[in-house]
């Protein structure tokens, strides 16, 4: 039995005002039997662009390196912002 991982989907969303809201990628996992017949498959969870690219998603087939970098930096900045907001809420909570 062998399972392969293949690029499946690149998702881009815009918000209500037309600004870029987010981008993710998904992989398709296919399991083949010893004789090469398909046994099953599933679609993996949507992953942030930076994670998907590091995992082998071929973003360079559809985006320039500048666009890939910009999306990855945006994901990182949002994660850092969310972590800082959570920490600020913890520090300013009346229970603190």
CB atoms near residue 24 (< 10 Å): 19
Domain count, the chain: 1
Per-residue confidence in pLDDT tens, the chain, 96 aa: 899 999 999 988 888 998 877 888 999 999 999 998 999 999 999 988 878 888 888 888 888 888 888 888 888 888 899 999 999 999 998 876
Residue range(s) defining the domain that contains residue 75: 2-92
**CA 78 centroid distance within chain:** 13
| Cα separations in angstroms, 79 against 48, 62, 74, 83 | 11, 25, 9, 6
The token pair at 34 is 């010893």
pTM of the model: 0.64
């Amino acid at each position: 039995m062998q399972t392969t991982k293949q690029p499946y989907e690149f998702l881009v969303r815009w918000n209500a005002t037309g600004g870029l809201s987010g981008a993710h990628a998904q992989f398709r996992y296919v399991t083949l039997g010893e004789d090469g017949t398909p046994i099953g498959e599933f679609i993996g969870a949507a992953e942030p662009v930076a994670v998907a690219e590091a995992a082998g998603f071929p973003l360079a087939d559809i985006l320039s390196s500048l666009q890939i970098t910009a999306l990855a930096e945006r994901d990182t900045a949002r994660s850092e912002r969310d972590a800082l907001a959570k920490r600020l809420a913890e520090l300013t909570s009346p229970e603190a």
